[in-house]
Structure 1
């Protein structure tokens, strides 16, 4: 299965196929089940394939939440922000200190969690290990990867409200929450 191979890969090494600048292996082609660089994509070898891009964030490899939740149930995994985008760590952070309280740490590797009330795992690898242990013990629990046809467990935002045709206000006035206007009337500086 491609997901197990994806988690075991070593990202950010140089591509042996393209000895050019910026040839870090930071993309993963799901169709070919292999690491690729940006030149592999631009030369057309993987142009129409499904690709996951891995980023570095504070000494860890992360993947965007919106990209990975199509393939994996990301509930209970700690979410980080990277340039305003929600990301999830692939592997446990080695530099992170261990949690002192078991309730405030990852259930698998005991790393400290930022919000222990919302999350149980610090990374995707920890959740995979936990679910695989539970499935061996209980057996009716399904495997962790989610098929693309099923709905991910993360709640999607509510749909936007229906748009009104322009020109019809129907008694609704535009209301500003500001007490004062942002800009005043321009005034010339006094002459001395």
Structure 2
């Protein structure tokens, strides 16, 4: 019972953090599942790390794949490493997604957004309250401006919010059907009122 009440609290927070007009791109779930910085199987050359993501092809690529011209005019993201985690430059990702509630980090003089929670954030400690990420409860550096520590947390919050909305809608529709079956003779609209005969005088 305690877990359900805590999940309701999270959903209430999330609902205020994610605007109704926010729409997650279809490619985003696939992007978060990809692994980067492995060796490219197509190019047996030095520095052939898979550190590029092609949104159009939904594939991780190396710099030689991109230079070959097969991804010309495709939407691309560059992936960097920051504290052993994959990050993407804020300027690149915010073209495709609203990142206003995701806390950025400084990496090589660039602002980046982490794909998954950083291990050092809050020394790995989870905390309750407004100073923590709404989803994973890691400490936020600037909790007045941000609600999520990484891209994965915002996506998870978005999916949970959608599930709760669908469940609420289904529950409401079910209750309406039950009410209709239990009171089949109930009028849909109430009568206008009791008719009165007009006086003769």
TM-score by length of 2: 0.65
Q: Find the counterpart in structure 2 of residue 107 from structure 1.
A: 134
Cα distance in 1 for residues equivalent to 2:148 and 2:30: 20
Aligned CA RMSD, in angstroms, stands at: 1.4
**In the alignment, structure 1 residue 35 sits paired with structure 2 residue 69:** no
Counterpart for residue 67 of structure 1 = 92
Q: Does the CA-based 8 Å contact 1:98-1:105 persist in structure 2?
A: no
Whole-angstrom CA distance in 1 between matches of 2:77 and 2:153: 20
Paired position in structure 2 for 1:47: 72
Task: Work out which of the two has the higher radius of gyration on C-alpha atoms and give 1 or 2.
Answer: 2
Find the aligned partners of 2:141 and 2:126 in 1 and give their Cα distance: 10
Q: How many residues align?
A: 139
1:137 aligned to which of 157, 161, 164:
164
Say which structure is richer in helix: 2
**Distance of 2:145 and 2:27 partners within structure 1:** 28
Structure 1 residue 95 displacement after superposition: 4.2
Unpaired runs of 5+ residues, structure 2, are: 1-25, 167-201
Where 2:130 maps in the other structure, the secondary structure is helix
- CA–CA separation in structure 1 for the residues paired with 2:147 and 2:156: 12
Maintained 8 Å contact 1:64/1:88 = yes
**Does the Cα contact within 8 Å between 2:101 and 2:146 map onto a contact in 1?**
yes
**What runs of 5+ residues in structure 1 fail to find an aligned partner?**
140-192
TM-score by length of 1: 0.68
Q: Distance in 1 between the 2:69 and 2:141 partners?
A: 41
> Is the contact made by 1:99 and 1:113 (CA closer than 8 Å) also made in structure 2?
no
CA distances 1:49-69 after superposition (whole Å, capped 9, x unpaired): 221001111222111111111
What CA distance in whole angstroms lies between the structure 2 residues aligned with 1:100 and 1:125? 18
Q: 1:93 aligns with which of 118, 129, 147?
A: 118
